[in-house]
Structure 1
C-alpha cells in the first residue's frame, strides 16, 4: 500500500501517540504524563504517515524561543515525537517527514530547529549538529565537603509543595533564560512539565519536593528534587538525593540550595542527570573525583535560515568572515555568506566574495550556541580554513562566556 503524510487531526491523537509509544519500546506512559503530552501537542505542527488505516510514522514541533549568545530569544521549532514503525523502516518515511517539517518551519519564519536525539546517528544527515552537553554526576556527599561563599548563611530556606509556588518559580526561571544560550522561554502550559509526578514512575523515590531560597522575603532561588531511601547492610543509611532542577540569582543563594542537598539526613549521594557542564558546584567541592562527572550530548541545532540565524546572535569578538556553507537537504542555505558582527549585533548576507571558511550547516549548528569551537571541528576535518587567520578569528567570536544548556527535554 502507498503511504500518505498528513497533518495530525486532534481526534487521531491517541492512535498517533500509541505508534510513538510502540516505537520507543511499547510501554504506555502513565496517564499523568500522557495527559501532559496531549495538552502541549500542537496538532497543526504535527505530522502522521498513514498506511491505510495504520499510523506508521509520527513527528511534531513545538513553537519555542531559545536563548542565543547575546541574550536574544530566537523563534525555534522544537522537533519532537519522531518515530517510524518497525514495519516501515528504510522506505523514506523519516526523510519525508523531515522534508515537510523543515519546509514548514521555513515558511513560518523560524530560523532554527531544535531536537534531542534518542540515537545520535540519525539526524546528522538532515543538518542537525550536537550543540550542547549535559553534565551527569554521582556526588559522594558522605565524603565530599562543600565550600560556600560569604552570605550563604543569610539565605532562608524552606520546603513547600511544588504546585503552591509554581508561578513564583517560573518567574525566576524566566529571568534566568537570556543569560545562558540553549535555555527555552517556556510557553504557557510548559511550566507544568516539571511537576508531572506519577506515583507509578517513582521507583521507590519520594514525591517531588521543592526547596525555596529567600532573602528579605524575596525569592532568590529554588531546587526541585526527590529522595530515595536506602540502607547499607540493613543498618547504615545510604539514601540518595536526586536533583531535577535548580535556579538561583546569585552565588550565595546557589550555595545555600546545594548545601541543603549535601546535608540531607540519611543520604550519602547526590544524583545529577542534567546540569550545565560549567555548573559552579564543581569549583566548590573538596574532591571532584568522588563526584564522577561526565558529559553527554543534549540539544541538537539546525539552522533553517543561515542568514537570519547568524544575524540573531552576537559574537564575543569582532568577526568579518565569509562562510561557504554546504546544505544538501535545505539547498536555499548553500553558498557563500558574509558574517560581520561583535558584542553589539551582527549581519549575515549573501556574497560573491571569496570564502574564508568552508563547512556544512551541521557544523554551524554545533558551533551556533558557543558550546563547541570551530577550531575543534576543524581539527576533526569538518571545517576547512581557506584564508589564513580566519579560523582563529571565527572560533573565538562564536564562543560563549557560559556553556549552553538545555534545562529540560521536549
Structure 2
C-alpha cells in the first residue's frame, strides 16, 4: 500500500534516509556546475549524517514553520521524501509573490517507477495552494525530470573567469566609500541587510531563510582555504556591499593563483564597482573565477575590453511552475500595456489552470480572469512555457519555435513577448 503524507515526528529519521545526501547516493548530475567556482568537482562527497545528527535535524525542521516535508510510504516504510520551503519571490513591477520551493527530493532506488515522486509532487502542490502559494519553484538536479510536473527554467546562472592582466576597468568617478576586510561574525551581520536591500530591486530574488548565513566561518576548508569577507561602506559608514572569496591552494600551475568569488552583492553601482575593482586586481593572483553570477553581469561593461570576461559554464537556475494561474499573473506588472486571451490545456496536476483566460495589463496593475464564454484565444501555450515566461527572462518567440506556444491571431506572440519581458534579466543569488 502506498501512502503519501507528511511524516510524523518519530518518522523523520527514516524520512531523511530516503534522501540522497543522507545515504551517500548521487544527488546531482555528474557535470561541471555553473554555480561552483572552486578548483575541484561539485558536489563534494559528504559523510552521511549520524543518527544523532538526524535527530538534531528533525528537531530543527519540526519547529520550522516554513519547512513542509512530504513522504511516500510503502507498506509503512518511507520510500520517498521531498519538502517545500515557503519563500517570497520578487516579480516584475516590484511586488512579491509567495512561492513553495521544492527541495531535498529522493526516492529509494528499489522503489522507483511506482509513481512515488508524482504522488509527493501532487500532495505538495495541493498543500501549497491551501497555504496561499500560487507559485512553486525548484533547482533541478537533473534536467529531464521536472518538466513532466509542469516546471520550466525561468532564470540562469553562470560561471565566468578572467585573467587579471586583462581586467582593466574604464575610468570612473572616485569611490565615495571605503572597503574593509572583516571576519565571519561581521559578515553574518552584514549579509542579511545587504541581501534584503538588493532583493527589493531584483526580479527573481528570494527571501532568505532564517539562519542562511549562520555557517560562515573563518576556518579553512581543506585545500580550498578559508573564506574571506570584503565589505563596502558608503560615505556614512553604512555597509552597502559584501563579497565572499577564497584563494585556494593548487598543486597545478594552470590553476595556481586563482581567486574564487563565491558571492557578491551590492546595493548600488558605486559599491558594486568598488568591490570588483579590488577582487579583479588582487595581489599575487593571476585568474579570477566567479560563480554563480547573473548571465547579464554588469561588470562586463565596466572593462575596457568586455571580452576579458569569459563565461565558462552556464545552466538554468530557478524552475518555475504556476499553481494558481490567475493569482500569479495578476500579481506581477507587465512591460507593455495590453490585453491577451490565451488557452491552457492538459494541466493534470493543477486542473484549475486549464481553460481560456483573459489577461489585461495597464501600468502597474493587471488582472487575469476566465475569458467570456465563447471568446476566441489569441494563442495556446503550455503551463511549462508560462512558467518560463513568468519572471520575464525568457523569449516567447523561442517557445513558439519549439511548439510550446501556438499563435491563432497574427501578432499575438509579439504582444506576449512585449508584455512579459523584463530588463535586466531576473536572477536569484541562491537556490534551495
Aligned pairs for 1:97-246 (under 5 A) are 97-147=120-170, 149-152=172-175, 154-192=176-214, 195=216, 202-216=221-235, 217-230=237-250, 238-246=256-264
CA distance in 2 between counterparts of 1:255 and 1:37 reads 43
Q: Retained in 1: the 8 A contact 2:86–2:100?
A: yes
Normalized per residue, the structure richer in strand is 1
Query: How far did 1:364 drift?
Result: 0.4
- Does 110-119 or 40-49 show the bigger shift? 40-49
How has the CA–CA distance of structure 1 residues 148 and 120 changed in structure 2, closer, same or farther, with 3 Å as cutoff?
farther
CA distance in 1 between counterparts of 2:182 and 2:57 reads 23
CA distance in 2 between counterparts of 1:267 and 1:248 reads 23
How has the CA–CA distance of structure 1 residues 143 and 29 changed in structure 2, closer, same or farther, with 3 Å as cutoff?
farther
Q: 1:347 aligned to 2:367?
A: yes
CA distance in 2 between counterparts of 1:309 and 1:377 reads 20
Number of aligned pairs?
A: 403
CA distance in 2 between counterparts of 1:311 and 1:210 reads 40
User: How far does the alpha carbon of each residue in 1:357-398 deviate from its partner, in whole angstroms, 9 at most, with x for none?
Assistant: 100111000000011021221122211111112211121110
CA RMSD of aligned residues (A): 2.6
User: How far does the alpha carbon of each residue in 1:6-31 deviate from its partner, in whole angstroms, 9 at most, with x for none?
Assistant: 21233333332232123435843579
Q: Retained in 1: the 8 A contact 2:336–2:362?
A: yes
How has the CA–CA distance of structure 1 residues 197 and 79 changed in structure 2, closer, same or farther, with 3 Å as cutoff?
farther
- Unpaired runs of 5+ in structure 1? none
Q: 1:329 aligned to 2:328?
A: no
Which residue among 389, 392, 401 is the counterpart of 2:411? Answer: 389
Q: 1:8 aligned to 2:7?
A: yes
CA distance in 2 between counterparts of 1:204 and 1:259 reads 26
CA distance in 1 between counterparts of 2:385 and 2:87 reads 22
- Does 21-30 or 67-76 show the bigger shift? 21-30
Q: 1:90 aligned to 2:113?
A: yes
CA distance in 1 between counterparts of 2:217 and 2:323 reads 32
How has the CA–CA distance of structure 1 residues 116 and 65 changed in structure 2, closer, same or farther, with 3 Å as cutoff?
same
Q: Retained in 2: the 8 A contact 1:205–1:227?
A: yes
CA distance in 1 between counterparts of 2:96 and 2:390 reads 14
Query: How far did 1:5 drift?
Result: 2.0
Partner of 1:258, secondary structure, is: helix
Q: Retained in 2: the 8 A contact 1:305–1:333?
A: yes
Which residue among 314, 318, 324 is the counterpart of 1:295? Answer: 314
Partner of 2:286, secondary structure, is: strand
Match of 2:30 in 1: none
Q: Retained in 1: the 8 A contact 2:333–2:363?
A: yes
How has the CA–CA distance of structure 1 residues 180 and 383 changed in structure 2, closer, same or farther, with 3 Å as cutoff?
same
Aligned pairs for 1:23-62 (under 5 A) are 23-24=25-26, 27-28=46-47, 39=60, 42=64, 45-52=68-75, 54-62=77-85
Query: How far did 1:191 drift?
Result: 4.1
CA distance in 2 between counterparts of 1:29 and 1:198 reads 22
User: How far does the alpha carbon of each residue in 1:140-192 deviate from its partner, in whole angstroms, 9 at most, with x for none?
Assistant: 2243323353133x331111112224233311211111211110112433343
- Unpaired runs of 5+ in structure 2? 28-44
